[in-house]
Amino acid sequence: LQKERAKLQFLVGNYTTETSMPPWPTAPNGATGKGTSVIAWGLDSTFLLIDEQSMNSVFGQYKGHGVLGYDAAAKQYVLSMFNNSGDRLVYNGSFAGDTLILAAHVPMPNFPFDQKLLWYKEGGALKLRALNDIGKGFTLVLEEKAVPASQGMR
């Protein structure tokens, strides 16, 4: 169990974030945003506590709180994420190499879809990619680059 928790250490930090979203029907020019992300161990280093805040031209002010840990019985990582839009998703997954891949079914009224989150390190940055599948395969809908807040964006 300690080994599985230790794999999450790469996420820990206080970050400044830049988000980009490719063009899509409701945002033909795509979108960008800036924010912060604080990821820290909590509950006796059993779970990672996530606090995200950002502003972008599509969703406006975003605030999200999450709890990420390892479920030993299910042998998978579990992220429970809540945000100021009322979403309360539960993602499950595992590592593929150095990438944490988590998946959830998003029960949007009249438009449910599947979503994957990919978290990995690239150089000194923490990267998060969100991909949605509306029945035609997964496509990139969001990419976030996070650098330690003390460094700022370059």
pLDDT digits (tens, 9 = 90+) for 101-149: 999 999 988 889 999 999 999 999 999 999 999 999 999 999 999 999 9
Instruction: Decide: helix, strand or coil at residue 29.
Output: coil
Degrees to nearest 5, angle at CA 21 with 20 and 24: 160
Instruction: Check residue 26 and give its pLDDT.
Output: 72
* Contacts for 97-106: CB closer than 8 Å, 24+ residues apart: 98/10, 100/7, 100/8, 100/11, 102/77, 106/132
Instruction: Check residue 150 and give its pLDDT.
Output: 83
